[in-house]
Every structure is written in structure tokens, then in C-alpha cells.
Structure 1
Amino acid sequence: MDPAAIDVIAPNFKRRLSGVTSTIIQLVPVQRRLGRRIAVLGPGLPTSLPHLHWRDLTQLWTPPAGRPARVWHARRNIEMLPGLILRDLLRMPLRLVFTSASQRRHTGWTKFLITRMDAVISTSQRTAHYLDRDSTVIRHGIDIERFAPAKDKAAARRALKLPEQAQIVGCFGRVRRQKGTDLFVDAMISLLPIRPDWIAVIAGRATAQHVAFERELKEKVARAGLSDRILFVGEHTNINDWYGVLDLFVAPQRWEGFGLTPLEAMASEVAVVATDVGAFSELVVIGAEETGIVVPAGQMGGLMGACAEFMDHPERRIAAGRRGRRHVAAQFTIEGEATAIGAVYDTVSGSSDRKP
């Protein structure tokens, strides 16, 4: 990419795939489609994204056409610090934006870096609470064209080699204790024997350090005689198809930074049971316009009770799923996220007077 044609730089200085990297991969094409002149910088990103090279940084002393400065949008400490060096030491015309997804008190070093940003975005109200400065809350969005209810659920189940007539409850994501996979398995071992029309599906990968954890869960399921009804299906790139065959989704995490899975399920017209971690309580609607049930993290009784409520009351479950699709379409599209971020860019780069 020609740096002269770029208004926004999205650095990614971590090779390993993470939630932050995934956010960049999903957002940048949408931002460009909406007219934002943005490029990425760093390793670990698809070649399909518009890239700047390290040598292009020497050209950043010249501001972009029509603006006094470019935006450097950091999402980690290792991206905030180079932005500060470029702006404050090398005197490049940059405005620094940082997105915080952390749900804990920051270290002194991180606090210092954040104080030097021109603008800060928080991914949830809970995240904003841990900051010592004002921020703009912009929650993540998803692609509601990709995550949508199956047009023919029976055909979709056949394609995935799942029983067409069963009711299916799913738990998707990395298989590990933090994600509460064991809580889901324990809940299903208790709930399924007296609900013969239900099966459970666990989709996701166990990384090397969690393989033993997954093996223990499979052994527990086998001892309960439920290996044909609690299915470990591994990781899939077409995870949207798996959401489309569900009747209920469970997000049993013990901890989460934000968590997109409830949004993906709701967009697929699936009712949700989620724990009160990450942004889940800000995503799932309870009350008159219910899209799901939120329960305390780590409490098996609450998790089982919420699952049983939806499993045993199909009218409530189906209505919650339908409202969930409407809720996500109105509040949590990725286009809406990109537009809100763009407004922050325009605010910080539209003036030549940088905030202290």
C-alpha cells in the first residue's frame, strides 16, 4: 500500500492468533468497504488485507491528504509504545487510539501508556470501569449474514451428520477450564438422561496444554454412558453452520475478555444461557424482551437450572431465539462497530490540536 493513500494504521505485533488478531482480521475489510483508508502493519495477518511494510514508516512524516494526521490504532502495549515513539520522539503527525478489552486493573506501565493516547475505546462497560480515564464504549459486532438461522435445519443437520429429530444444545470455543467446558459437560451428564430427545455438541479445539483436560472430559462422558449423546466434534471453520443446527447455546465461561459466542448464537436465532463474565451481561437481554438467561459464573446449580428451563419450555426458548436475532441485527453488527470506531478516528484526526 502507498502510505500516502492511508489514513489509519492498524498495527499487529503478535504472531500468534488471538482474539485481538481476529478482531483486526474481521474489522479491516469492513472498514475499507465503508470507505475508511486503512492498512495493517505487522506479522500474523492474511495477505488479503492491505499491508504497509516497515520501510513505509519513513514516509509517515507527511500527513495524509485532507487531514492533519493519521490514526495509529493500537490494541496492545507492544503497539501503543511504538506509536508513542513515532509521534512524540520522531514527531510524526499521528493520533493514537487504543482499544482496551481488559477486565482487570492495569499495571503502572499500561496506565502510563494509556494516559498518552489521544482516545481510548472500551469494548464493554465493565472494561471501561477499570480505566482511569474517559473512554468510548464500542462493543464488538458480528457478520449477521454469516451467522444466520439455517434455511432448512433438517438438511443442515444431515450435512453435519447429526440426527435430524433431536434437540441440540451446543457449547463452542476452546476446550479448557477457563471456558467452562467441564461445567457444560457436568451439566449435560445430569440433564440429558431424563431428556432423551436432547443431545449436546462441543465444538472447539484443545490446544496442547489442554489435551489432557479434554481427554478427561471424554472419559467422564464415556463412564456416564453418554458418548453417543455428548459429542466432541473438534474445531471447524464453518462454525456458523453448527450454530444453525442448534436449539440452545450455552456459554459457561469462568472468565472472558469479551466473548462473541452469545452474539453468534443469537444471530442464528438460538436462545442463550451465559455466565456473567466478559460482556455477556451486556449482550444478552433478560426480562420482557428476553434473548437468554445470565447466571453467576462457576455455579453449577444456576447453569443447570437455566438450561433445564429452556430445554423444558420450547415456546420460551424459540421466542428468545427470534428476539435474539432482531437484537443483534439492531445493536451488534460488525458494520455498526466499524462505523462507531470511524467516528472516534474522525474526532481525533480532524483537528491539528492533539489532546494532552
Structure 2
Amino acid sequence: MTQVELKDIRVIAPNFKKRLSGVTSTIIQLVPVQNRLGQKVATLGPGLPENLPHIRFRDLWRLWQQAPGGGPRVWHARRNLEMLPGIFMRDVLRMKVKLVFTSAAQRKHSGYTRKLIAQMDEVVATSARSGSFLEVPHTVIMHGVDTELFHPPKSNDDTIEATGLPGKYLVGCFGRVRHQKGTDLFVQAMIALLPSYPDWTAVISGRVTPEHKSFADKLKADIDAAGLSKRIVFLGEVDDIKPWYRRLTLYVAPSRNEGFGLTPLEAMSSQTAVVTSDAGAYAEMVLAGETGTVVAAGDGDALRNAIKNRLENPAETLEWGETGRSHMLNNFELQGEARALQKIYERVAQQGGHPNDRR
């Protein structure tokens, strides 16, 4: 990775989970933008791309020193296993560090997690819904995406013709293939609908981990039994998912449970209409009837009917995609998230005392 010196860094973004997750994706997208805005952010931990600025664990002794320009550094945690070492460094080792935690959870936190969160200097919720599960003061800052990386179609490579797949329009579902993500609900809807809509082809992209292989195998067997193996296609993990968003006319996010969920934002930024469940923050990011449709999580019938409405009206679906792009530019640019976090960093750096003394 691109090694940087901690003496030049004001904000540390630890990533202590090697496997790719939504949190990891957030760090990957956000840190470069934060640094372009002059925020001096570096990552710490495994599983991140080589281009991100990275500090070494052995450099953490500098946290006893002030940040460049004076004052404490900020330790921005996003998981329990990142909050705990931050608390240890601040309260036991007495290092000059302030703690920020971002919570995306859509559930009641465990007692252990609540205790950790209570020790944070500042807490951020990624949506109003995730904030409703917090018992401490917090600021809602929704995630954004890089609207330059996720852009509308520009070339022939951004069309269904470039894929070699049949039909005029693509509908897709991206993410890990598992029950939680609702991949089975998408497949069931496609098996029911595609025979009546010959202009449409479905694609599924995402990792199949060993514990979910039988789940994925069952879906593929159902597709084969329906005679639709050429029109419901598993792409596996692709090196670059961005062109696939641009090739879609409709993106479906059928999750039963989600933390935040970036994929509808990535789709809308790519000028693609969406149908989503109301898991995670989906309902807070979609303009119903303008950029997409939101249905109850786990409701397969409602999902199928919402998709059917889009397949029946491809011209309107394309219009929804154009509105979605405008919606993204106005409300969900990644720079907006970075600037909002900068205000949190500035505020927390000026705070005195322990969070328990301030509440």
C-alpha cells in the first residue's frame, strides 16, 4: 500500500476486517475524496487497495503527539473491533486521540456495543432509521457515491450489445449471493416474469462463499428447470462492476436485511432506475415513483409486481433512470458526505474532557 507517515495525518480510518464488506467499500470510496479536500486521512489494517494512503501499526506511538497543526487526531471507527482499541489508546494509554463512530446497523445494539458507543466522542448514523436505534446524541450523514466513477452510459461498451446477451434491456441484481440479500426473491421474480417479456435479460453478480454455495446451486437449478439459463445469467464476481450498472435499464436490490446499502445509489448515479426493498436506508434514498419503487423487505409478491411494472414500461423506466442521476447529483455526491464528516472532525477535535463528562 501507499505508506504515509502518521506525523502528517489528522484522521485514521481503521479497517480491521479483511473480507470485503459494505464498510470496506465505504472506506475505499471515501478516503480518496477526503484527501482531495485536504482532510489528511489514512487507513490502517488489511484488505484495502494499494492506492489508499496507509499507516503502519508500529507508527501508532505518534498518537501521544499532537496532530499536524495541533490538537488530537481522530480515530474514525465503523465496527466494534475498531472502537475498542480506540478506547484503549485514549483512556488507558492517554494518547491524544478523539473517537468517532459511524453506525449503519438497522437493529437494536447488543449491550456490549451500546457500552462501546457510549464511550465515543462523536457518533454518526448513516440514516434516520439507523439513528433510531442509538441511545446517544448523533448526527445523520448518509453515504454518497463518486458520481464521476459511477456515471451514465458514454460508449458502446455501456450497452447490452457489448455483453453478447440476448434482448434489448438488462435487469440486474448485484451483491453477495445469499438469503439475506434476497437473491432468491430476484430469481423467483425473473423466472415468473421473463417468459412474458422477451426483450429483457437478467444478470446476477456477486461472490458465492462456501457456506452459501448450496443456496446458489439451488437457484441455478431452478433457472435451468425453467429453461431460462440463457436469460438469467450468473456473472460471478466481476473485476469492475461499474460498466454493468451502465448497461442496465433496471437495478433490483431485494435485500431482506441491510446495514446501509450502496448499490441503489451506484445504480442511480449510473442513470439506472431501481426497485428496492425497504431494508437498510433504501427507502430514504429512493424517490418513489420518480427514480424507483420501494417494497417491503421479504415480500416476494410485491417485489415481482414492482419489477413487472418496470418491464412493462421500459420508456418510463429509462426516464426514471435520468431522474435518478439528477437526484444523485443533488443529494448523494460523495463530496457532500466528506464535507459533513469534516465538520464532525473539527468539532470533536475542539472538545475537552471525556464523553461521559459531557453527557
Post-superposition offset of 1:154: 7.1
Once the two structures are superposed, residues 219-245 of structure 1 have per-residue CA deviations (whole angstroms, 9 ceiling, x without a partner) of: 111111111111111111221111111
**In the alignment, what sits opposite 1:235?**
237
Question: Letter of the aligned partner of 2:101 in structure 1?
Answer: F
Post-superposition offset of 1:113: 1.1
**In the alignment, what sits opposite 1:330?**
330
CA distance in 1, matches of 2:24, 2:155: 33
**In the alignment, what sits opposite 1:303?**
303
Once the two structures are superposed, residues 46-80 of structure 1 have per-residue CA deviations (whole angstroms, 9 ceiling, x without a partner) of: 33222222221222111113332111111111111
CA distance in 2, matches of 1:192, 1:309: 13
Q: Partner of 1:114: helix, strand, or coil?
A: helix
Counterpart pick for 2:205 among 199, 203, 206: 203
Post-superposition offset of 1:45: 2.5
Post-superposition offset of 1:160: 2.4
Q: Kindly indicate whether residue 66 of structure 2 is the aligned counterpart of residue 84 of structure 1.
A: no
Counterpart pick for 1:16 among 2, 19, 25: 19
Q: Partner of 2:190: helix, strand, or coil?
A: helix
Alignment map for 1:231-310 (pairs within 5 Å): 231-287=233-289, 290-310=290-310
Please say if residues 158 and 244 of structure 2, whose CA atoms lie closer than 8 Å, have aligned partners that are also in contact: no
Alignment map for 1:1-356 (pairs within 5 Å): 1-152=4-155, 156-163=159-166, 165-287=167-289, 290-353=290-353, 355=355, 356=357
CA distance in 1, matches of 2:230, 2:52: 42
Please say if residues 286 and 294 of structure 1, whose CA atoms lie closer than 8 Å, have aligned partners that are also in contact: yes
Please say if residues 152 and 246 of structure 2, whose CA atoms lie closer than 8 Å, have aligned partners that are also in contact: yes
Question: Letter of the aligned partner of 1:191 in structure 2?
Answer: L
Cα 1:300/1:44, change in 2 over 3 Å: closer
Post-superposition offset of 1:350: 2.9
Question: Letter of the aligned partner of 2:321 in structure 1?
Answer: G
Identity value in percent: 54
Post-superposition offset of 1:124: 1.0
Please say if residues 153 and 244 of structure 1, whose CA atoms lie closer than 8 Å, have aligned partners that are also in contact: no
Post-superposition offset of 1:155: 6.2
Post-superposition offset of 1:336: 1.3
Question: Letter of the aligned partner of 1:343 in structure 2?
Answer: K
Query: Unpaired runs of 5+ in structure 1?
Result: none
Question: Letter of the aligned partner of 1:47 in structure 2?
Answer: E
Question: Letter of the aligned partner of 1:178 in structure 2?
Answer: Q
Of the structure 1 ranges 146-155 and 109-118, higher mean CA displacement relative to structure 2 is found in 146-155
Q: TM-score, normalised by structure 1?
A: 0.95
Q: Partner of 1:68: helix, strand, or coil?
A: coil
Q: Partner of 1:60: helix, strand, or coil?
A: helix
Please say if residues 68 and 349 of structure 1, whose CA atoms lie closer than 8 Å, have aligned partners that are also in contact: yes
Q: Partner of 2:179: helix, strand, or coil?
A: coil
Please say if residues 253 and 277 of structure 1, whose CA atoms lie closer than 8 Å, have aligned partners that are also in contact: yes
Query: Unpaired runs of 5+ in structure 2?
Result: none
Post-superposition offset of 1:284: 0.6
CA RMSD of aligned residues (A): 1.6
Please say if residues 170 and 246 of structure 1, whose CA atoms lie closer than 8 Å, have aligned partners that are also in contact: yes
Please say if residues 165 and 201 of structure 2, whose CA atoms lie closer than 8 Å, have aligned partners that are also in contact: no
CA distance in 2, matches of 1:181, 1:218: 11
Cα 1:151/1:301, change in 2 over 3 Å: same
CA distance in 2, matches of 1:52, 1:150: 37
CA distance in 2, matches of 1:245, 1:95: 44
Q: Partner of 2:235: helix, strand, or coil?
A: strand
Q: Partner of 1:178: helix, strand, or coil?
A: helix
Please say if residues 68 and 352 of structure 1, whose CA atoms lie closer than 8 Å, have aligned partners that are also in contact: no
Once the two structures are superposed, residues 2-40 of structure 1 have per-residue CA deviations (whole angstroms, 9 ceiling, x without a partner) of: 222111111222222222222222211111111011112
CA distance in 1, matches of 2:44, 2:220: 41
CA distance in 1, matches of 2:68, 2:207: 45
Post-superposition offset of 1:193: 1.0
Post-superposition offset of 1:341: 0.9
Post-superposition offset of 1:153: 5.0
CA distance in 1, matches of 2:174, 2:218: 18
Once the two structures are superposed, residues 188-244 of structure 1 have per-residue CA deviations (whole angstroms, 9 ceiling, x without a partner) of: 111111111111111122111111111111111111111111111111122111111
Of the structure 1 ranges 152-161 and 131-140, higher mean CA displacement relative to structure 2 is found in 152-161
CA distance in 2, matches of 1:7, 1:354: 19
Please say if residues 30 and 334 of structure 1, whose CA atoms lie closer than 8 Å, have aligned partners that are also in contact: yes
Q: TM-score, normalised by structure 2?
A: 0.94
Once the two structures are superposed, residues 239-280 of structure 1 have per-residue CA deviations (whole angstroms, 9 ceiling, x without a partner) of: 111111111111111111111111111111111110110000
